[in-house]
Structure 1
Amino acid sequence: MKFLFEKDTWQEIYGSIRKNKTRTAITIFGAFWGILLLVGLLGAAKGIENSFNSMFGDFATNSVFISGSRTSMPFKGFQEGRQIKLTTRDVDLIRSEIKGIQFVVPRNATGGQVTNGFKTGNFTVFGDFPLLDKVQKKKLTDGRFLNQKDINENRKVCVISDGIYKELFDKDEEAVGTYLKVSNISYQVVGVYKSGRFEGKNNLHIPFSTFKLVYNQGDKFQWMVVTGKQEFDIVQVEADVKLLLKNIHNIHPEDNRAFRGFNLGKEISKVTGFLTGMQFLTWFVGIATLIAGVFAIGNILLITVKERTKEIGIRRALGATPGIVRQQIILESLFLTLLAGSLGIIAGGLILMLIDSQDWLTNPTVNIPIILIAYSVLVFLGTLIGFIPAYMATIVKPIDALREE
């Protein structure tokens, strides 16, 4: 250990590096690039995952969105092109007939002019059930979400997103308890929530029953969110629901255009698989690049040892033991590895900070333990590879080394 703290040891390492600056740069580039690639790709994968979660994270992952469209095939006397309207009866039958159903949430939406005093804006007005808060959890900042009493009594109440709050209210103004005019009908604000990116920032929610009366929807609605239990395949649940709806509405079994659908569970599975594959590829490429970089360090040190054969012979003749020579070469290998790893981590961190500042991805980060593991692997390999040139330096006899030209 005393060898590590001797001034001459580090002066010799510094002299060797300074003497061959270009070679030193080439030596450390491979390991530097390997850990930079590892940090950068892992951070990017995490950023993609965070971006996806920020967009869909509020929704129950095992969900599918289904809406009525137009038929593309004639069936049982009905012509093609018939518009299909979903009804509350469909919801009841889905709940009772389809296995694996956890929630079925019918929804309506329309555009509406919303006014608060002299401030006005055009926003999306949703007609919803309280059950929506279980399927798409609302991050309330004030008040509450819709409840069953609002539905039963057809109350004129609303829950607004923070986007509407910022446009129609002054900063720090109390919104809950005030009244907004939606298409000239007054609604009392009962809650404010932080909006996500999936449905936008300017949404207003009123009771489904109130929406039905105000906009004369009857028992019809525009689309529904069907959430399956976690142990059931949401793709199969979607297929079962659509088949049941085809039977209810007299649609040809092979007509695939009568209902539109977006299977969130299926898309999340795709993204999850992609992220898993990307992380595996990142580790594989990163570790392979690290190993290649470390071997490059070993090869360059072998060349350095060859060039310093005479110098090593002089040191041996002056009393330097094989152990001292070996330690010197191994320490030089370790130092170059540590330098390459440190620069790679710093550069990778700066790149991730740049990506984050530009909002290309959401919070692209790498866990500290992962960085420490990668760094430890690099140091271990760098030390290990140093034994090869160190051994080559010690097997040369001093008298032969002094004859080297």
Structure 2
Amino acid sequence: MFDLDRWREIFQTINKNKLRTLLAGFTVTLGILIFTILFGMGNGLKNTFYESFQDDAQNTIFIYPGFAKKPFKGFKENRRIEFKNEDLELLKEKFGDRIEYITARISDGVTVKYKSEYGNYTVRAVHPSHQYLEQTDIEKGRYINENDIKNDARVAVIGRLVEEDLFGRDNAVGKYFTLNKIVYRVIGVFSDIGSGDREERNIYTPVTTQQLIYKNTDKIDQINLSYNMSIGASGARRLSKDIEKLLKNKHNIAPSDQNGIYIESVIEDLEQTLQFANVLQIIVFFIGFGTLLAGVIGISNIMVYIVKERTKELGIRKALGAKPSAVIGMILQETVVITMIFGYIGLLIGNFILKSMGRKLEDWFITNPNVSQGIIIFATVTLVLAGLIAGYIPARRAAKVKPIVALRDE
């Protein structure tokens, strides 16, 4: 295998038969090129699905009130369900050992003014735990704390883009502005890179402050919580069912009514989405592998032609004493060299195309398309093995041909 004369002879043969070599190598390059691009795009699609869940903690559960569509215990159908502070406290009491963070949330659109600057934004009234559920990063100042909740403080944490819109280059922390003509003090500025501009145009205030402003109501729009990771995905499903059962019982909703309470688990959505992405990737893999197989068949056909063309040469070698194993080894080594060189070229071109088109593919929901090192190794090994098989069959036939028969070949 490491005979210098053998290697010199192989490269001389390749150099003398450029067209033949290019034809053999082109099928390999094309096959691995298409395989790399298809598999890379499959990974990019999977990355898009995964990144869509990066804005929130992966162990988050969202609970929304809906409309009870069925009559139950004397209550009429189409009854609107409303959450209150007592619902939040009930969940803390019943499931405190399984809950990590919990917060209420009230959302409202407001007109914001600072000096001569105006803007319309969404205000979210929350508890301090909301920061960990949304994975909010504080760039300046601080987030809402328990003292703000107890004191009904008129303070606000604004998004980075809100600061840019209203305060320009000034540091917003410590300054006062109005939300629907009510004065608040800015205590912090947050960023939320994972979710883009939408989240960074939000404003957070203490939930008790918003409830006080709205005529001392104790109503809340939704409840968000995160469960202890130790309970796992199956435990999270049980927790969701237990919460649904408890709230339905409290609000007199029929157990079979699917519209009274809505519960959404991030981990379940992520699992379902990634399962769908994995199925797509498997389909893409088999399509790409089929393309790779087509390239292998192509090089196999070309190798049959190459061996047939060199029949007289092989006969002379056997007449001079070359063993059948030496003939087979020479052809196989030449096949492997061609396969590896052109296969590597296909990998390089495929990776270059993926990197150069990376940003442009985001509009098609493909993020950071790439091929892992393991897949590259798999494809390379597959090519080498396929090249060996493609070259072995015609080489073995050629090695069995008697020298006198080979020398008569025209």
The answer to whether the 8 Å contact 2:110/2:179 transfers is yes
Whether 1:177 and 2:174 are equivalent positions in the alignment is: yes
Aligned partner letter, 1:202: R
Whether 1:61 and 2:58 are equivalent positions in the alignment is: yes
1:215-254 aligned within 5 A: 215-216=214-215, 218-230=217-229, 231=231, 232-254=234-256
List structure 1 runs of 4+ shifted beyond 6 angstroms: 318-321
| Shift in Å, 1:388 | 3.1
Matched residue, 2:113: 115
Deviations 1:81-108 (A, max 9, x none): 2221101111111222247333332111
Identical-pair percentage: 33
Matched residue, 1:39: 36
The answer to whether the 8 Å contact 2:303/2:390 transfers is no
List runs of 5+ in structure 1 lacking aligned partners.
none
Report the Cα distance in structure 2 between the residues aligned to 1:279 and 1:19, rounded to whole angstroms: 35
The answer to whether the 8 Å contact 1:63/1:225 transfers is yes
Matched residue, 1:331: 333
User: Which moved further from structure 2: 351-360 or 288-297?
Assistant: 288-297
Report the Cα distance in structure 1 between the residues aligned to 2:327 and 2:179, rounded to whole angstroms: 84
User: Which moved further from structure 2: 265-274 or 319-328?
Assistant: 319-328
The answer to whether the 8 Å contact 2:112/2:120 transfers is yes
Report the Cα distance in structure 1 between the residues aligned to 2:48 and 2:261, rounded to whole angstroms: 29
Whether 1:72 and 2:69 are equivalent positions in the alignment is: yes
Whether 1:95 and 2:92 are equivalent positions in the alignment is: yes
1:5-404 aligned within 5 A: 6=8, 8-19=9-20, 23-24=23-24, 28-29=26-27, 31-98=28-95, 100-170=98-168, 173-195=170-192, 196-197=194-195, 200-216=199-215, 218-230=217-229, 231=231, 232-281=234-283, 286-287=288-289, 289-290=291-292, 293-314=295-316, 325-358=327-360, 359=362, 360=364, 361-383=366-388, 385-404=390-409
Report the Cα distance in structure 2 between the residues aligned to 1:34 and 1:75, rounded to whole angstroms: 64
Question: The residue matched to 2:33 in structure 1 has which SS?
Answer: helix
User: Which moved further from structure 2: 111-120 or 126-135?
Assistant: 111-120
The answer to whether the 8 Å contact 2:49/2:277 transfers is no
Aligned partner letter, 2:126: D
Coordinate RMSD, CA, aligned: 3.0
Report the Cα distance in structure 2 between the residues aligned to 1:227 and 1:63, rounded to whole angstroms: 4
Question: The residue matched to 2:56 in structure 1 has which SS?
Answer: coil
Deviations 1:144-185 (A, max 9, x none): 2221122122222222222323333435x4233333322222
User: Per the alignment, do residues 96 and 42 of structure 1 end up closer, same or farther by CA in structure 2, a change over 3 Å counting?
Assistant: farther
User: Per the alignment, do residues 96 and 327 of structure 1 end up closer, same or farther by CA in structure 2, a change over 3 Å counting?
Assistant: same
When normalised by structure 2's length, the TM-score is 0.85
List runs of 5+ in structure 2 lacking aligned partners.
none
| Shift in Å, 1:289 | 5.0
Question: The residue matched to 2:253 in structure 1 has which SS?
Answer: coil
Deviations 1:335-379 (A, max 9, x none): 331244223313432442355212232222223344234323423
| Shift in Å, 1:403 | 0.6
Report the Cα distance in structure 2 between the residues aligned to 1:189 and 1:38, rounded to whole angstroms: 53
Question: The residue matched to 1:176 in structure 2 has which SS?
Answer: coil
Report the Cα distance in structure 1 between the residues aligned to 2:218 and 2:288, rounded to whole angstroms: 58
User: Per the alignment, do residues 34 and 101 of structure 1 end up closer, same or farther by CA in structure 2, a change over 3 Å counting?
Assistant: farther
User: Per the alignment, do residues 175 and 106 of structure 1 end up closer, same or farther by CA in structure 2, a change over 3 Å counting?
Assistant: same
The answer to whether the 8 Å contact 2:70/2:257 transfers is yes
User: Per the alignment, do residues 281 and 293 of structure 1 end up closer, same or farther by CA in structure 2, a change over 3 Å counting?
Assistant: same
| Shift in Å, 1:11 | 3.3
Question: The residue matched to 1:64 in structure 2 has which SS?
Answer: strand
The answer to whether the 8 Å contact 1:294/1:337 transfers is no
The answer to whether the 8 Å contact 2:35/2:288 transfers is yes
Number of matched pairs: 399
| Shift in Å, 1:306 | 1.4
Deviations 1:293-325 (A, max 9, x none): 335423421232113212433455578775664
Report the Cα distance in structure 2 between the residues aligned to 1:127 and 1:278, rounded to whole angstroms: 40
Report the Cα distance in structure 1 between the residues aligned to 2:376 and 2:116, rounded to whole angstroms: 55
User: Per the alignment, do residues 120 and 83 of structure 1 end up closer, same or farther by CA in structure 2, a change over 3 Å counting?
Assistant: same
Deviations 1:32-55 (A, max 9, x none): 455335433443343233323332
Aligned partner letter, 2:224: V
Question: The residue matched to 1:363 in structure 2 has which SS?
Answer: coil
Question: The residue matched to 1:269 in structure 2 has which SS?
Answer: helix
Question: The residue matched to 1:80 in structure 2 has which SS?
Answer: coil
Report the Cα distance in structure 2 between the residues aligned to 1:3 and 1:141, rounded to whole angstroms: 67
User: Per the alignment, do residues 241 and 286 of structure 1 end up closer, same or farther by CA in structure 2, a change over 3 Å counting?
Assistant: same
Question: The residue matched to 2:80 in structure 1 has which SS?
Answer: coil
Report the Cα distance in structure 2 between the residues aligned to 1:136 and 1:114, rounded to whole angstroms: 23
Report the Cα distance in structure 2 between the residues aligned to 1:3 and 1:287, rounded to whole angstroms: 36
| Shift in Å, 1:110 | 0.3
Question: The residue matched to 1:243 in structure 2 has which SS?
Answer: helix
